[in-house]
């Protein structure tokens, strides 16, 4: 048993190294610069070792990174809302979302722009996606079919892309967040 535990720990560590190297490379040079060859070199293993952990190669690595990003974003939502409700909760999750997108542009791109073969808005969505959506739903008090949450999420996504492209005035962010809260708070 001890040998099996040690092997599992080594595999988990290698997997973590691969994901960390992918995020670092994407942060430094964009996802187009993330290649299995580069990742294998970065972690000091061969490409077959990398494919042993991620048989789908770069696409599977990017998907794993994106799912971790959803878990991180959900944790930020939950921390931001804490015991807030109404407008304050909506403003808190909007701020957390936009701050996350600005602080992690390559991760955000993997999560929301690039194809990652994840099932959004379906009954069998990945747990990480469902948890993030549910956190937004709770903040909004959306007791209906989730359409309000989808529109809110779409608004945040649009704002994050426009802010990232320099198409919105940075000094007006708080006002945009207040406008969203005025429209979406229960």
pLDDT (tens digit, 9 = 90+) per residue, 142-151?
Answer: 888 889 999 9
Its CATH class, for the domain covering 1-55, is mainly alpha
pLDDT (tens digit, 9 = 90+) per residue, 24-43?
Answer: 999 999 999 999 999 999 99
User: pLDDT value at position 1?
Assistant: 64
With 0.85 as the threshold, say if the pTM is over it: yes
CA 107 to the chain's CA centroid: 6
CA 121 to the chain's CA centroid: 15
pLDDT (tens digit, 9 = 90+) per residue, 153-171?
Answer: 999 999 999 999 999 999 9
Task: Give the whole-angstrom CA distance, residue 160 versus residue 174.
Answer: 13
Q: Which CATH architecture has domain 58-186?
A: Orthogonal Bundle (1.10)
Q: Do domains 1-55 and 58-186 have the same CATH topology?
A: no
Type and span of the H or E element at 130? helix 127-140
pLDDT (tens digit, 9 = 90+) per residue, 82-130?
Answer: 999 999 999 999 999 999 999 999 999 999 999 998 888 777 889 999 9
Domain boundary assignment for the chain: 1-55, 58-186
Res. 3 pLDDT band, cuts 50 70 90: confident
* pLDDT greater than 90 at residue 72: yes
Q: Could you tell me which residues come within 8 angstroms of residue 34 by beta carbon, excluding any fewer than 6 positions away?
A: 22, 25, 26, 58, 61, 62
User: pLDDT value at position 118?
Assistant: 86
At residue 135, φ and ψ (nearest 5 deg) are: -65, -40
User: pLDDT value at position 18?
Assistant: 96
């Amino acid at each position: 048993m001890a040998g099996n535990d040690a092997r599992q720990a080594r595999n988990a560590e290698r997997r973590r190294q691969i994901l960390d190297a992918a995020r670092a490379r994407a942060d430094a040079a964009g996802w187009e610069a993330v290649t299995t060859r580069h990742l294998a070199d970065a972690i000091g293993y061969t490409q077959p070792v990398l494919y042993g952990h991620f048989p789908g190669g770069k696409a599977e690595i990017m998907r794993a990174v994106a799912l971790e990003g959803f878990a991180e974003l959900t944790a930020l939502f939950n921390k931001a809302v804490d015991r807030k409700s109404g407008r304050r909760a909506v403003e808190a999750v909007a701020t957390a979302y936009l701050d996350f997108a600005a602080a992690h542009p390559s991760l955000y791109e993997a999560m929301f722009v690039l194809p990652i073969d994840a099932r959004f808005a379906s009954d069998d969505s990945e747990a990480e996606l469902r948890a993030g959506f549910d956190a937004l739903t709770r903040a909004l008090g959306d007791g209906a079919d989730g359409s309000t949450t989808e529109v809110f999420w779409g608004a945040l996504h649009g704002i994050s892309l426009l802010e990232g492209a320099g198409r919105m005035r940075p000094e007006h962010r708080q006002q945009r967040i207040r406008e969203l809260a005025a429209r979406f708070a229960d």
